[in-house]
A and B are shown apart, each in its own frame.
Chain A
Amino acid sequence: MSTAWRPVRVCADVSVGDELPGTTIHVDRARLIQYAGASLDRNPIHWDETFAKSVGLPDVIAHGMFTMGAAVTIVTDWVGDPGRVTDYSVRFPEPVVVPYETGADIEVTGVVTARDEASRLVTIELTVTSEGVKVLGKAVAVARLD
């Protein structure tokens, strides 16, 4: 992930069932405040524990869009060019709860579920969990390879 130029992955080299290198994303309050500033989503449920609990949440929760945005980096790193992602969709079944002391870990894995040689489009399904709970559902990205 330096500035070294990387080639874009070639469709002919990819098979259905190929697994992408997974990752663990650590998220703490500082990270959520950084995302709040960058995304302009300043909802206090993502940084103010007192407010979050007052609306019935167990604690501060991560922005669903933070999790969606962080998870897709395993796809963009694997593809070799973030501009090749043509479709990306998720559901948000459960929130990522972010305690003050420990923060939270988000585990991301991905597998190729479809591949079309003519269009060079590949479909990748992501599995995204925190504390064993699925935090993104039906997380699917489509990218155009070389």
Chain B
Amino acid sequence: MPVNEDFQGREYPPTRGYVVSAAKIREFAEAVGATDPVHTEAASARARGYDDVIAPPTFAVLIAQQCDAQLITDPEAGIDFSRVVHGRQKFVHHRPLTAGDDIIGQLHVDRVRAVGAHAMVTTRTELATRAGEPVCTASSTIVIRGDE
């Protein structure tokens, strides 16, 4: 199998933190075509009851993929990144990511299984503020292609 099966159930230490900025939210919103002013105008966001501009629903991937990199680049895991395909993605938002949030991510390897010559790995990143408030759970399944 093109990944170390023993990694199922593994947890990585919390990351050192990612500060969500209004500038990054704007760039990301423009890139996906999200034109709602809550992403770009603090006044619009406050009118909706948020403290500052909020991120689009898939922005969390930016932080989650930095967490996933701990597994992908872990030599013990044995993953060849050039053989990785994104299979599934899921977000559960407890509240929207907001400019100014200082976010810590913790990566969990929930499942490792073989599918023929390939392997499917499901990871879950729990994103929370430094103060411990849960913000988002991002789950990702990658497929690592084995030898055909």
Contact = CB atoms under 8 A, between A and B. Distances in A.
Contacts, number: 113
Interface residues of B, number: 40
B37 interface: yes
A91 B62 contact: no
B89 A69 contact: no
Interface in A67-84: 68-70, 72-73, 76-77, 81-83
Contacts of A50: none
Nearest to B66: A40
Interface residues of A, number: 36
B36 A92 contact: no
Interface of B: 24, 27-28, 30-39, 41, 44, 47-48, 50, 54, 56-59, 61-62, 65-66, 82, 85-93, 95-96, 139
Given A5-B47, A65-B61, 14 more contacts: A3-B41, A5-B44, A38-B24, A40-B62, A40-B65, A64-B86, A69-B31, A69-B56, A69-B59, A72-B58, A73-B32, A89-B89, A90-B88, A92-B89
